[in-house]
A and B are shown apart, each in its own frame.
Chain A
Amino acid sequence: MSVQAPERRRADFFPTEEEYTGHLGWRSRKATWFQGFCMAMLTIAVIALVTLLYTIINDSFGLVAIVNQNQPEDIVADLGYDPETTGLNGITFDEMVGLLEANVSSGVGRRLEREQRFYENRLVFESDQVWAEICASEEPPSGCTAAPRDQANVFALVQERVVQPDVIASNQLVHSLLDPGGFEDEVASGFEAGRFQEYTFEQVEFEWRAWFSPTFLLSPASATPEIAGIRTAILGSMWLVIITVLFAVPVGVGAAIYLVEFARPSRFNNLIQTNINNLAGVPSIIYGMLGLAILVRVLEPITSGDIFTGGTSPSDNGRTILSAGMTLGLLTLPVVIISSQEALKAVPDSLRQAGMALGATKWQTVRSQILPVAMPGVLTGTILAVARAVGETAPLILVGAASFITVDPSGPFSKFTALPIQIFQWTSFPQEEFRNLAAAASIALLLLLLTLNAAAVILRNRFSRRVE
């Protein structure tokens, strides 16, 4: 056998022109199919997101059926105004206080006054003598020192205490828009079936209500859905973000710097690395148990603030913002470490060598040359991890977030609640109106997350620009 020319033999392995044309067609079709498949997957993802947003927004706005214990028109008319032209908010401050005096029990009135006075120089519900006494006592109420209530504050009180609106039924946004009459019919048939026995159908007013509103964001929690808000929850979540970041970022970035820049490969370091990677996948409730066992129980003197304040901290146990924030910090720590490591590894070695060759120490090189380049990646990873932690519910329930709290958190040692806890709480209530509140709170939570992500983008861009 003679040796065949190798070029010839190699050419034989390739298809003929005809085969090639057929094959090419099939290849193109396959490419088209896969493109279509990927687009379909994207569509599914988009549909899922749109459905989520639709559900939340649909529940957050819509028609409600309200029964006012006292009709604002009647009140205004009683005061001598023309109800056609003047609303309840058009009356004077003194008239509002007068309404409160007439409609609120003296006990509630005294409580309101102790929270915050109505007038700088005059008391409405308390007697001067008692007031002087309680203000001279060991723990004077906030009303002794705080500035008096303003018009908006008193108006809110009048709404809550005098008008006393009661939402007896609520409707969803889309249904309200498409079929406003349908809701009225529903409520009417509800009356016929005897569901709202304390009212008559004539008392019912139908009006649009935005459950997600500035008032909702700024009011504290309440058992009455009409006036309940999420201020305490938002503040609690913000405190948690701060503590989480303060804990997770220095620890996580520090650990990542050590692992990438200083640690020499060894069995021990490999073990640590593997463990960190695995910790990133541990369910959040496990971190909650850790937080409960260590931070809340064992470290109670620290997390309750007792050793710092000498036992006068606002919380008498370890179920504080500090415990919860550190639990969330532990939860985010592995992700922060891993993403920081990736960011550091992405910095070219030539920069390290350049720094070292100039006679800089390792730390000087890392601090001035490596970290600034890695910073955008570190920040992105960190903020995404923190954003995930903000939405966590399970660990917070374990470390003891309060389910109902109306006092704003005042520091890391306060009792607290957080947005996801509040949402979780409201969804478990039977009344329909709390479902609307939960949806509105979900919008607030999403907005908070959006803000965090926007902050990540802005910070990243700023750092990148500085690096260029």
Chain B
Amino acid sequence: MTNETSTEETVTSPAGDVPVPRIERAASSPAVNSVPNVIETRGMSVFYGDFLAVADVSLDFAKNQISALIGPSGCGKSTVLRSLNRMNDLVPTARTVGEVHYHGENIYAEGIDPVRVRRTIGMVFQKPNPFPKSIHDNIAWGAKVNGFKGNKTDMEGLVEEALRAAALWDEVKDKLADSGYSLSGGQQQRLCIARAIATKPDVILMDEPCSSLDPIATLRIEELMLELKENYSIIIVTHNMQQAARVSDKTAFFNVKLDDTGMRTGRLVEYSPTDQLFTSPREKDTEDYITGRFG
């Protein structure tokens, strides 16, 4: 993939009168990056109606790594995450321009069914949202709707495998028929992770998965993420800089910028290997943010 094309191109807002100049890509030098990428965004901007929420994001997410998106509230990091598996399509006014490549294929190209995209790029949400069903059914359902062909035993095997992968099996193996709601918050979130894993995705997107959990539950989820990265590529949005520093391999810092017309638009400021971003950030904004001067 050639990454350094089109540095001075502009994308145009739907009104047609607000040119959005592309900032020079802050992405890391591709020469160092020998790991293949699963997802690459190219000049991606997301609009809610006429409002440009996040502009011109070009990011590469490497396979079997944890990539973190950090930044102050309203900087569009969740919007970026939700654009990666077309969950933003569910917002009636949302519109994504630019390209998002998954293994080289633009998932926003015509003829791509978002259902197929979400099947391979799973998602875990901010608040645990298990289905109001049994623990078993919570996990089995995703496989069923995606055409799981195995019999009952195969399904039980799949459920166990997913729960083991989410480090939840030992806690729930005796109560698979209980409601998903009977679990604690941290367990519910791991159930949601197990649910996402059970459909055998390739990438797992996590939207502040620990923000409603206590520190111990958070720690367990973080350990789990490190385990999961062996088999999955993980992209995580987090408010918690320490968390990004603890788990991620690369970190993207987003910031809100006021443009000439007074619109608050999120922009990618810096994307570097995590240790580099936290120890020697290249941008002043990044440094201000990670040292706690704002945000």
Contacts and interface: CB of A to CB of B under 8 A. Distances in A.
A264 B92 contact: yes
B122 interface: yes
A385 B80 CA distance: 46
B132 A354 contact: no
B289 interface: no
A92 interface: no
Interface string A341-370: 000000010111111111111001000110
A404 B199 CA distance: 64
Contacts of A359: 115-116, 118-120, 122, 142, 145-146, 199
Contact of B129 (A351, A360, A467): A351
Contact of B127 (A350, A356, A373): A350
B32 interface: no
A358 B129 contact: no
Nearest to B205: A357
Nearest to B134: A468
B196 interface: yes
Contacts of A357: 85, 87, 118, 122-123, 125, 196
B181 interface: yes
Contacts of B216: none
B237 interface: no
Given A264-B92, A265-B92, A468-B181, A358 B142 contact: yes
Contacts of B131: 351, 354-355, 369
Contacts of B123: 353, 357
A372 interface: yes
Nearest to A361: B115
Interface string A388-425: 00000000000000000000000000000000000000
Contacts of B195: 354, 358
B19 to A, nearest CB: 29
A360 B132 contact: no
A355 B133 CA distance: 13
Nearest to A354: B129
> A interface, by DSSP: helix, strand, loop or mixed?
helix
Contact of A354 (B115, B146, B192, B199): B192
A350 B125 contact: yes
Nearest to B146: A359
Interface string B136-159: 000001100110000000000000
A356 B118 contact: yes
A371 to B, nearest CB: 12
A353 B115 CA distance: 12
B90 interface: yes
Nearest to A359: B119
Contact of B132 (A352, A356, A467): A467
A88 to B, nearest CB: 62
A227 to B, nearest CB: 55
Interface string B187-219: 000001001100100000000000000000000
Contacts, number: 71
B179 interface: yes
Given A265-B92, A468-B132, A358 B181 contact: no
Interface in A269-284: none
A468 B134 CA distance: 8
Nearest to A468: B179
B87 to A, nearest CB: 6
A463 to B, nearest CB: 11
Question: Which of B127, B145, B146, B181 has the most CB atoms of chain A within a 10 A radius of its CB?
Answer: B145
Interface in A173-209: none
Nearest to A369: B131
B122 A358 contact: yes
Contacts of A368: 141, 145
A359 B143 CA distance: 9
B185 to A, nearest CB: 14
Interface string A321-354: 0000000000000000000000000001011111
A358 B196 contact: yes
Given A357-B122, A468-B179, A350 B129 contact: yes
A357 B204 CA distance: 10
A360 B181 CA distance: 21
Given A350-B127, A350-B129, A354-B125, A360 B142 contact: yes
A368 B145 CA distance: 10
Nearest to A349: B90
B125 to A, nearest CB: 6
Question: Which of B85, B123, B127 has the most CB atoms of chain A within a 10 A radius of its CB?
Answer: B123
B126 to A, nearest CB: 9
Contacts of A348: 129
Contacts of A265: 92
Interface in B165-179: 179
Nearest to B129: A350
12 contacts: A350-B129, A353-B90, A355-B131, A357-B118, A358-B119, A358-B142, A359-B116, A360-B142, A360-B145, A361-B115, A372-B132, A467-B133
Interface of A: 264-265, 348, 350-361, 364, 368-369, 372-373, 467-468
Given A350-B129, A354-B129, 20 more contacts: A350-B125, A353-B87, A353-B123, A356-B87, A357-B118, A358-B118, A358-B119, A358-B122, A358-B141, A359-B119, A359-B122, A359-B145, A359-B199, A361-B115, A361-B145, A364-B145, A368-B145, A467-B132, A468-B179, A468-B181
